Each structure stands twice: as structure tokens, then as C-alpha cells.
A = this chain, B = another copy of it.
Amino acid sequence: MKALIILSNPQSEASFCGAIAATAADVLRAAGADVVVHDLYAENFDPNLTTEELKKSLDELDGSIRKSIDELFAADVLVFVHPNWWGMPPANMVGWISRVVRQGVCYRFTEKGPEGFLGGKKTFVFTTANTPADIEEKFNHDPIRNLWTNIVANTVNLDDVTYVNFTSIILSDDQQRKAWLEEVKTIVSNAVK
């Protein structure tokens, strides 16, 4: 079993997002998975998809992007962890999607709509926020759930996506955070049994 974890948080490992990613990695390794973690801030990932890159064939791509594409296809389990900023992931996660989840590689457009090539994986998206859940859902229309479980999932055929949002981080105490990490542990370990 192979797993790919993508983390975006400016505080990297020191953030609660970092703790979520580490918890997921521990559970997956304990289940025997070969786990690759990319911490986009720590790696100083360049989020800008350029015209030059758009024109390139798969073989001409920058080595790190090509490697990420290989890791994405090879993974049985995908884990994305990031805060909610303006109803979106931070820019480097947005750019990771643009650069790695390439048209013609991860999906193609047909007359019937997109055809995705990433089926058969278990995907987990864990987000952190300060906006109360009811406000996020009713007034902001749950944009990150829409991004991952609808737009991305339907385009590339991620057919098993679990989305969990933890809020409010700013008001949470140690006990609450421990309980949330237990929830991450349970969710991820149930999925890899």
C-alpha cells in the first residue's frame, strides 16, 4: 500500500495541520503503507503554472512535478491537509492542484464531460478553520467541500473522498485538539483496515 500526504500550512509541522498530517502518516505506516509526505511550505513549492509548463509533454516536465504525478498515480491513499483561507486552500496547495493534477494526464475532456484517471483510491481531506461550521455551510456554501468532493473529485474521478473540517482552531484547547487527532486516527485507520 502506498500513501501520499500533501500538507499546506505556513507553520508546517508546528501547526495543527502538521499534527493531522503526522497522525495520518503514523496510522498509515502502522498499517504497512509506504508513505510520502510533501510539506509544500517547507519544500518552498512554486505554485505558478506557466505557459511554458502548459505546453510541455509529460517527459519534459520539471522533475519534481513529474515525480509528484507518479506518486499521485501510485498512491492507494491520498491525504490533503490545509487551513481554510477565503474558502480555498493556501496558494501553494491551489498551485499544486494546477501543476500536478494535469489535464491530459489525470483527466481529459470528452463530449460527455471530464473523464478522470484517478479512480480506486481512498482520499481524505482534513481542513482547519475558525469560521463556525454552520456559517461555513449556510452562508459560505461550504466551498472547500465543493472543491474537493465535487469539482476535483468529479474531474479526476476520485470516487471515495472523506472530508472533515475542524473548527474553531483559535477557540480550541489542548483537550479538544487531542480529541480531533483521535478522530483523524480513527477515520484513517478504519479506511485502511
Residues of A within 8 A of B (CB): 10-11, 41, 47-51, 54, 85-88, 90-92, 94-95, 97-98, 101, 109, 113, 130, 135, 139-141, 143, 146-147, 150-152, 154-155
Going nearest first, the 6 A-B pairs with the smallest beta carbon separation are A91-B95, A47-B91, A91-B91, A91-B94, A10-B51, A87-B151
- Interchain nearest-CB distance for A87 vs B (Å): 5
A91 adjacent to B48 (CB under 8 Å): yes
- A47-B91, A86-B97, A90-B98 known; A150-B146 Cβ under 8 A: no
> In the complex, A54 Cα to B15 Cα: how many Å?
14
A10 adjacent to B50 (CB under 8 Å): yes
> In the complex, A160 Cα to B48 Cα: how many Å?
30
Residues of B within 8 A of A91 (CB): 47-49, 91-92, 94-95, 98
- A47-B47, A47-B95 known; A147-B11 Cβ under 8 A: no
Which of B49, B90, B141, B150 interacts with A150 by CB under 8 Å? B141
Closest B residue to A93 by beta carbon equals B91
